[in-house]
């Protein structure tokens, strides 16, 4: 009896092994087919007052884009300071007291505070009161000097408190303070977009979200790597200033050429110097930061744009970050590590490249 069972079992194992081999072969075949059947899909959506474009290669690319876009929508609901229902609006409305928030919001504010400290306060998410008096997003205008001075007292990331207790998360900004996560929220959304893309088994994706370009996978359209154009920092010029080849990561660009208003012939952009309360911008027209973390890239590009040309060139020279800075003399400064990555297509008319390092 035992022998019979043993015999039967041996037969079963053999069958099982054969079946497993067939299944594995079929799975491998399917994987190969799936690789070849991957299709591309491109579309543009609108979130956080900004267009977001997707170019995705995957077996079901429309579905992959929907999953990626849902991740952005979720962030938008949490971080939109112009929507009274968002978590950030609740934190601002309750300034001076602890407000319970989701883990997501807690982690983003925590990242923002860390990066504010790292950039010496040039990136500061508590510029909200200053953004308000300049009317960005609603009614842009130059405020009175006294208004700026009054609002400046509410800037200071050191007054933001975070608390985690029994699995619950709390954020508190100082009395009168207002969080503005506009300089980090898109980077955070792209972090979530990448997670969604990877979860969906996406082969490659290029996602461009208001100056932040996320690259997922090993390269687009079967290429090794990606070609990314850095915008010429002038209005109405759509030709890139230069094109670089990258293997992945994110490129985040901050500049004053896209979101700005003019008053009495002067251009005022949406990036604020947290120390003066004035709009940033001078000789430095744009700065692009290249790294793996979209949140970091977003914050650093904003911070260096505020710091200005000299500090940015010092940072590029010392290898503090990998990136590109373009100045008003049409010089494109690139960090040494990128020197071999500039595409031969050439630069925009009148622009020249200088390697820093
Ligand atoms: P964009 O949002 O156009 O990609 P940035 O990433 O540079 O550009 O972020 C600019 C936004 O960040 C502003 O619209 C504002 O919401 C916020 N902001 C402005 N100045 C600062 C600053 N010094 N530190 C942190 N956030 C800022
Ligand atoms: Mg930024």
Query: Cα-flanking dihedrals φ and ψ of residue 346, to 5°?
Result: 95, 175
Cα–ligand 2 centroid distance for 214 (angstroms): 13
Taking only the tens place, the pLDDT of each residue in 282-317 is 899 999 999 999 999 999 999 999 999 999 999 999
pLDDT, greater one: 71 or 345: 71
Taking only the tens place, the pLDDT of each residue in 312-341 is 999 999 999 999 999 999 999 999 999 999
Taking only the tens place, the pLDDT of each residue in 123-148 is 999 999 999 999 987 899 999 999 99
* Pairing assessment for the beta strands 50-58 and 39-47 based on DSSP bridges: antiparallel
What is the arithmetic mean of pLDDT over 153-174?
A: 98
Query: Which stretch of DSSP H or E encloses residue 244?
Result: strand 240-246
What is the arithmetic mean of pLDDT over 75-101?
A: 94
Question: Taking 60 as the threshold, does the pLDDT of residue 181 lie above it?
Answer: yes
Top-confidence range, 34-38, 80-84, 201-205: 201-205
Q: What percent of the chain has pLDDT over 90?
A: 76
What is the arithmetic mean of pLDDT over 252-277?
A: 90
Q: Which atom of ligand 1 is nearest to the CA of 258?
A: 3
Taking only the tens place, the pLDDT of each residue in 14-55 is 554 555 444 444 444 444 334 445 799 999 999 999 999 999
Residue nearest atom 5 of ligand 1, based on CA coordinates: 183
Taking only the tens place, the pLDDT of each residue in 208-234 is 999 999 999 989 877 889 999 999 998
What was the pLDDT predicted at 238?
A: 81
What was the pLDDT predicted at 37?
A: 59
Q: Answer whether 330 contacts ligand 1 (Cβ < 6 A).
A: no
- Looking at the CA of 52, name the nearest ligand: 1
DSSP 86-146: SHHHHHHHTTTS-EEE-HHHHHHHHHHHHHHHHTTTSS-TTTHHHHHHHTTTT---PPPHH
What was the pLDDT predicted at 321?
A: 96
Domains in the chain: ranges and CATH: 13-73+203-356 (3.10.520.10)
Report if pTM > 0.95.
Answer: no
Cα–ligand 1 centroid distance for 182 (angstroms): 5
State how far the Cα of 186 lies from the Cα of 253, in Å rounded to an integer.
12
State how far the Cα of 203 lies from the Cα of 58, in Å rounded to an integer.
5
- Looking at the CA of 250, name the nearest ligand: 2
- Helix 294-307 with 103-118: angle, nearest 10 deg: 40
What was the pLDDT predicted at 223?
A: 83
Average pLDDT, the chain: 89
Q: Answer whether 229 contacts ligand 1 (Cβ < 6 A).
A: no
State how far the Cα of 242 lies from the Cα of 232, in Å rounded to an integer.
8
What was the pLDDT predicted at 138?
A: 84
State how far the Cα of 238 lies from the Cα of 233, in Å rounded to an integer.
9
Q: Answer whether 69 contacts ligand 1 (Cβ < 6 A).
A: no
Q: Answer whether 274 contacts ligand 1 (Cβ < 6 A).
A: yes
Q: Answer whether 125 contacts ligand 1 (Cβ < 6 A).
A: yes
Confidence tier at 91 by pLDDT (50, 70, 90) = very high
What was the pLDDT predicted at 16?
A: 47
Question: Taking 50 as the threshold, does the pLDDT of residue 182 lie above it?
Answer: yes
**Helix H segments across 267-308?**
294-307
Residue nearest atom 16 of ligand 1, based on CA coordinates: 182
């Amino acid at each position: 009896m035992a022998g019979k069972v043993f015999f039967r079992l041996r037969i079963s194992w053999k069958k099982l092994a054969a079946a497993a081999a067939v299944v594995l072969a079929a799975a491998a075949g399917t994987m190969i087919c799936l690789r070849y059947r991957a299709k591309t899909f491109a579309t543009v959506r609108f979130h956080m007052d900004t267009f977001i474009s997707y170019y995705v290669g995957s077996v079901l690319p429309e579905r992959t884009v929907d999953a990626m876009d849902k991740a952005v929508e979720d962030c938008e609901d949490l971080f939109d300071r112009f929507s009274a229902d968002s978590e950030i609006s609740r934190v601002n409305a309750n300034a001076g007291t602890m407000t319970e928030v989701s883990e997501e919001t807690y982690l983003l504010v925590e990242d923002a505070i860390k990066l504010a400290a790292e950039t010496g306060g040039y990136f500061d998410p508590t510029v909200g009161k200053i953004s308000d008096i300049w009317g960005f997003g609603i009614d842009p205008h130059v405020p009175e000097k006294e208004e700026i001075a009054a609002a400046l007292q509410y800037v200071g990331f050191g007054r933001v408190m975070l608390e985690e207790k029994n699995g619950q998360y709390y954020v508190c900004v100082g009395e009168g303070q207002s969080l503005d996560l506009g300089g980090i929220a898109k980077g955070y959304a792209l972090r979530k977009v990448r997670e969604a893309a990877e979860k969906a088994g996406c082969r490659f994706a290029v996602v461009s979200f208001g100056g932040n370009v996320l690259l997922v996978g090993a390269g687009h359209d079967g290429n090794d790597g990606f070609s990314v154009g850095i915008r010429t920092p002038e209005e109405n010029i759509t030709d890139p200033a230069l094109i670089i080849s990258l293997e992945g990561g994110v490129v985040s660009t901050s500049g004053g050429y896209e979101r700005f208003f003019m008053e009495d012939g002067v251009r005022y952009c949406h990036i604020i110097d947290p120390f003066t309360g004035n709009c940033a911008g001078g000789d430095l027209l744009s700065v692009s930061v290249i790294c793996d973390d979209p949140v970091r890239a977003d914050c650093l590009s904003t911070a260096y744009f505020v710091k200005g040309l000299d500090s940015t060139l010092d940072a590029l020279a010392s290898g503090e970050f990998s990136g590109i800075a373009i100045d008003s003399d049409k010089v494109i400064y690139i960090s040494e590590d990128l020197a071999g990555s500039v595409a031969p297509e050439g630069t925009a008319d009148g622009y020249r490249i200088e390697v820093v390092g």
